[in-house]
């Protein structure tokens, strides 16, 4: 999916500016990092992409479609092509891990059986096959992170939006997850990752967009390793 942000600003009431005049283009099948300190506007930018919030100014085009003008039906249709990994995971506590993952497929009309089979395969791939029956609160932060990723991947999305997907896990596991994202990108999907993890950014030579206090502070070209960040 190709993403274009044109003069996008976001101000929360009463006058809290979260993003200011963001111009950005993300190419199809690109993996891109959005980085910056806490409060820089990374999560806001991601939420604008999947239309959880609307920009105060500017427009966002996804595959040429102006998402700022979409009505609820259009937003739902757009999100079906996306896989979302949230910083706070957002699981249903009453459901076990397998059903949390499978639900995302079920709401799109996949049968309960098929969705569970696919969810199980993904969990196995992410090293969680023995934890499929556990409730989310019984898992460690890293395990929850992987469940969230499994849920994001279950509908074979064309765009992955991940907010701190490696925030709670060790380097080794973070690399495994990044390998998975790279594999998805190689399959044709666009991957947008917001992260604090400087090491991760340095290990994977993807384009980096740096945000500071809502402004685009820096943007590195793709495939050039980033210098040490100071945030």
Partner 1 sequence: MKVSLVGLVFRQVRSSLRHLCWSHILASLTMALTLFVFGAFMMLQANLEQLLTAWGDQMQITAYLGRALEPTELERLLKSVETLPEVERVRYTSQTQAWNDFQTALGAQSGLLEGLPHDVLPASIEISIKRGQRDSSTVEQVAQRLRAEKEIASVEYPQQWVERLGLTVLAVAWAKWIVGGVFFLATFFIVGSTVKLALYARRGEVEIMQLVGASETLIQAPFVLEGMLQGMTGAALALAALWGGYALTRQEIESFAGAVGWFGHVRFLNLEGAAFLVAIGWVVGAAGSVISLRRIVKTWRGSEAIV
Sole binder of partner 1 in the list 73, 221, 223, 230 (CB under 8 A): 73
Q: Considering only 39-47, 120-128, 176-184, 197-205, which stretch makes contact with partner 1 by CB under 8 A?
A: 39-47
Q: For residues 66 and 60, what is the distance between their CA atoms, to the nearest angstrom?
A: 6
Sole binder of partner 1 in the list 7, 27, 28, 107 (CB under 8 A): 107
Residues in contact with partner 1, total (CB under 8 A)?
Answer: 35
Q: Considering only 98-106, 117-125, 177-185, 215-223, which stretch makes contact with partner 1 by CB under 8 A?
A: 98-106
Among 20, 2, 103, which Cα is nearest to 60's?
2
Sole binder of partner 1 in the list 1, 20, 98, 110 (CB under 8 A): 110
Q: Are 174 and 197 in contact (CB under 8 A)?
A: yes
Task: Please report whether residue 137 would count as binding partner 1 according to CB under 8 A.
Answer: no
Alpha-carbon distance values, 56 to 19, 21, 67 (Å): 9, 10, 13
Strand (E) or helix (H) holding 175: helix 171-186
What's the burial of 88, exposed, middle or buried (CB within 10 Å: 0-12/13-18/19+)?
Answer: exposed
Q: Which residues bind partner 1 (CB under 8 A)?
A: 12-13, 18, 43-44, 47, 50, 52-53, 72-73, 76-82, 84, 90-94, 103-104, 106-112, 151, 155
């Amino acid at each position: 999916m190709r993403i274009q942000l044109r003069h996008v600003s976001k101000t929360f009431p009463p006058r809290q500016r979260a993003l200011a005049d963001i111009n950005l283009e993300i190419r199809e099948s690109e993996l891109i990092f959005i980085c910056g300190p806490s409060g820089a506007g990374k999560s806001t930018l991601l939420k604008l992409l999947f239309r959880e919030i609307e920009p105060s100014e500017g427009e966002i085009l996804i595959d040429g479609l102006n998402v700022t003008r979409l009505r609820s039906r259009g937003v739902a249709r757009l999100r079906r092509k996306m896989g979302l990994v949230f910083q706070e995971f957002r699981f249903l506590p009453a459901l076990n891990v397998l059903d949390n993952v499978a639900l995302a497929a079920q709401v799109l009309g996949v049968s309960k059986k098929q969705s569970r089979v696919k969810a199980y395969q993904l969990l196995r791939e992410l090293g969680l096959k023995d934890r499929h029956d556990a409730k989310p609160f019984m898992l460690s932060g890293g395990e929850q992170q992987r469940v969230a990723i499994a849920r994001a991947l279950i509908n074979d999305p064309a765009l992955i939006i991940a907010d701190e997907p490696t925030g709670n896990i060790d380097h080794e596991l973070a690399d495994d997850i990044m390998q998975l994202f790279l594999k998805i990108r190689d399959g044709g999907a666009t991957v947008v990752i917001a992260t604090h993890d400087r090491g991760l950014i340095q290990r994977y030579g993807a384009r980096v967009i740096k945000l500071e206090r809502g402004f685009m502070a820096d943007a590195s070209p793709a495939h050039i390793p980033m210098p040490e960040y100071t945030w």
